[in-house]
C-alpha cells in the first residue's frame, strides 16, 4: 500500500484528493495534505495536515507525494522530495522554465524513486490511437494544432494573486492550459527544430502574460507545424491534424478521420506524367490534376466527460510503477520538452526572432527575469 501526501490544496489538489478518497486508486491511500491554509471541511478531518512541505516529506508518514502548488514551487518541492527518496508526481508544468526543469531532473539520481508528470491527456484513447497510426502516414509534412477552447473570464485570473503574472505563474495560456497540447505534439512527432511566434500579452484580459499565441514550427525532416492557442475565444476550437505523404489524420470533438493514400503523394506527383509535356502542347497530358487513390475511414470515440478519470489513470500508473515496476505513461523527465517549447514560443514572441531548439536555458531565464522586473527585453 502506497501512502500518499498531497502538497498544494487548491483546485487540483482537491481534485486529486477526491478520487483518492473515493478509493479510485488501487493499493494507495491518501494520508496527508499540506497547504498554507488548513481545509475546514469535515471530510478531511482524518488526514494529517502540514503547513510546511518539508515537515510532511520528512515525517516518515508518506511514501509518495503529488505536488499541485503554484508553478514555481514544483521545482523547489520536487527537488526536495526526490533528494529525500520520496516518489514524486508533479502537476504540469514540471517547472516554469527549462533551467529549473534541468535542476529538477538532476535531483532524480535514484532511479528506484519514481518521478512522474501529470500529463493526463496521454491517457486519452484518441491520442493513443493517433500515436499508433502516425507511422502509416509516411513522411510527415505538416502539423496543425488549434487549442482555443480554454476560454477564461477575468474572474479566473483574479482568483489568485500568483495567476497571470510572470513572477507568480511564469506565463499564461502556454504554461498553464496549453501545456497539455504542447506535450501531445512533441510526444507524437518529437521536438521541432525551430519556432517563430506571435504572442499577445493581455489581449483579452487585464493580465501581463500571453492569452493568445500563433506559432510556426519547423521540424528536422522539413515538416512545418502551426500552433494556435487562446483563452479569449468562445466558442473555441480544439483540433489536431497531421499530414504525411501517405495520408492524413484529423481529430476534433470525438471523431478521428483517417485518409490513407495507396501511393506517396510526393512520388506520385513526380511520376504521374506518362507522356512528356511540351509547353505548346499541354493537352498531351491528362495528369495535371491527378491524385493518388485514398481510402477513408473514421473512428467515433466514447469518452467519460469526467476529466479527473484521466488524472486518476496517471496516478494509478504512478502507484503501479512504485509497487510493480510498471512503465510510466508520463516520466517526469519528459516534462522538460513541453516547457522548453513554451519558453521558445514566448522568447520568439517577445524578441521577434526565430528560436532554435534545444533552447538555451540560461538565455531564457535572463529574459524571464527581465519580464518579471518589467524591463525592456529587446
CATH number at residue 243: 3.30.360.10
Higher pLDDT, 94 or 159: 94
Q: Is residue 378 part of a domain?
A: no
Query: What letter does residue 41 receive in the DSSP assignment?
Result: -
Domain assignment present for 283: yes
Residue 135 included in any domain: yes
Lowest mean pLDDT segment, chosen from 20-24, 110-114, 304-308, 316-320: 304-308
Whether 114 and 232 share a structural domain: no
193 lies in some domain? yes
Residues 224, 93 share a domain: no
- What does the alpha-carbon distance between residue 43 and residue 375 come to, in Å, rounded to a whole number? 47
Q: 149 lies in a domain?
A: yes
89 and 154 belong to one structural domain: no
- Mean pLDDT lowest among 171-185, 231-245, 285-299, 338-352: 285-299
Compute the half-sphere exposure of residue 376: CA atoms within 13 Å on the CB side of its CA: 1
All three cell numbers of 144: 496543425
**What cell numbers appear for 238 in the block?**
480544439
Look at residue 306 in the predicted model and tell me its pLDDT: 65
Residue 163 belongs to domain spanning? 124-304+337-373
What CATH number does residue 81 fall under? 3.40.50.720
157 with 142, same domain: the answer is yes
Question: 179 and 323, same structural domain?
Answer: no
Cell numbers for 326: 510498471
Contact 215, 195 (CB under 8 A): yes
CB contact at 8 A, 115 and 332 = yes
DSSP secondary structure code for residue 26 in this structure: T
At residue 350, φ and ψ (nearest 5 deg) are -75, -40
Same domain, 147 and 187: yes
- Residue 36 is given by DSSP the state S
Residue 92's closest CA among 191, 169, 33, 144?
A: 169
Q: Does residue 130 belong to any structural domain of this protein?
A: yes
C-alpha cell at 309: 478519470
Evaluate whether residue 84 is within a structural domain. Answer: yes
What is the per-residue pLDDT for 282? 45
For 62, the enclosing helix (H) or strand (E) is none
Is residue 142 included in any domain, yes or no?
yes
Same domain, 227 and 244: yes
User: Quick one: pLDDT band at residue 266, thresholds 50, 70, 90?
Assistant: confident
What is the chain's mean pLDDT, rounded? 92
Number of domains observed in the structure of the chain: 2
Are residues 225 and 345 located together in one domain of the fold? yes
Same domain, 327 and 223: no
pLDDT at 108 over 50: yes
Residues 48 and 153 in one domain: no
Residues 154 and 213 in one domain: yes
pLDDT band at 305 (very low <50, low <70, confident <90, very high): low
Q: How far apart are CA 342 and CA 324, in angstroms?
A: 34
The gap from C-alpha 86 to its chain's centroid, in whole angstroms, comes to 24
Q: What is the pLDDT of residues 110-127, one digit of tens each?
A: 999 999 999 999 999 999
**Same domain, yes or no: 283 and 311:** no
Amino acid at each position: 500500500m502506497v501512502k500518499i501526501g498531497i502538497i498544494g490544496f487548491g483546485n487540483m489538489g482537491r481534485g486529486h484528493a477526491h478520487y483518492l478518497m473515493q478509493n479510485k486508486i488501487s493499493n494507495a491511500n491518501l494520508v496527508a495534505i499540506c497547504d498554507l491554509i488548513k481545509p475546514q471541511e469535515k471530510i478531511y478531518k482524518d488526514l494529517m495536515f502540514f503547513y510546511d512541505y518539508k515537515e510532511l516529506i520528512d515525517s516518515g508518514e508518506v511514501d509518495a507525494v503529488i505536488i499541485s502548488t503554484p508553478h514555481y514551487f514544483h521545482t523547489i518541492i520536487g527537488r526536495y522530495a526526490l533528494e529525500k527518496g520520496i516518489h514524486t508526481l508533479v502537476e504540469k508544468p514540471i517547472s516554469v522554465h527549462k533551467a529549473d526543469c534541468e535542476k529538477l531532473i538532476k535531483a532524480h539520481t535514484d532511479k528506484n524513486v519514481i518521478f512522474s508528470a501529470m500529463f493526463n491527456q496521454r491517457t486519452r484513447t484518441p491520442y493513443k490511437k493517433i500515436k499508433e497510426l502516425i507511422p502509416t502516414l509516411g513522411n510527415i509534412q505538416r502539423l496543425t494544432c488549434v487549442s482555443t477552447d480554454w476560454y477564461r473570464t477575468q474572474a479566473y485570473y483574479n482568483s489568485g494573486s500568483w495567476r497571470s503574472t510572470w513572477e507568480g505563474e511564469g506565463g499564461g495560456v502556454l504554461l498553464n492550459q496549453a501545456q497539455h497540447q504542447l506535450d501531445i505534439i512533441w510526444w507524437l512527432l518529437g521536438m521541432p527544430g525551430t519556432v517563430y511566434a506571435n504572442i499577445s500579452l493581455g489581449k483579452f484580459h487585464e493580465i501581463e502574460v500571453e492569452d493568445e499565441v500563433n506559432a510556426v514550427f519547423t521540424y528536422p525532416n522539413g515538416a512545418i507545424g502551426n500552433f494556435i492557442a487562446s483563452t479569449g475565444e468562445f466558442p473555441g476550437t480544439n483540433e489536431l491534424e497531421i499530414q504525411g505523404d501517405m495520408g492524413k489524420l484529423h481529430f476534433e470533438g470525438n471523431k478521428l478521420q483517417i485518409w490513407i493514400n495507396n501511393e506517396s503523394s510526393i512520388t506520385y506527383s513526380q511520376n504521374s506524367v506518362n507522356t512528356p509535356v511540351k509547353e505548346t502542347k499541354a493537352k498531351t497530358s491528362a495528369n495535371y490534376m491527378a491524385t493518388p487513390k485514398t481510402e477513408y475511414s473514421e473512428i467515433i470515440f466514447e469518452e467519460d466527460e469526467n476529466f479527473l478519470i484521466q488524472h486518476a489513470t496517471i496516478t494509478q500508473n504512478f502507484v503501479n510503477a512504485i509497487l510493480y515496476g510498471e512503465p510510466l505513461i508520463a516520466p517526469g523527465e519528459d516534462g522538460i520538452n513541453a516547457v522548453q517549447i513554451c519558453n521558445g514560443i514566448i522568447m520568439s514572441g517577445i524578441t521577434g526572432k526565430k528560436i532554435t531548439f534545444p533552447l538555451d536555458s540560461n538565455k531564457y531565464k535572463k529574459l524571464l527575469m527581465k519580464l518579471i522586473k518589467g524591463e525592456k527585453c529587446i
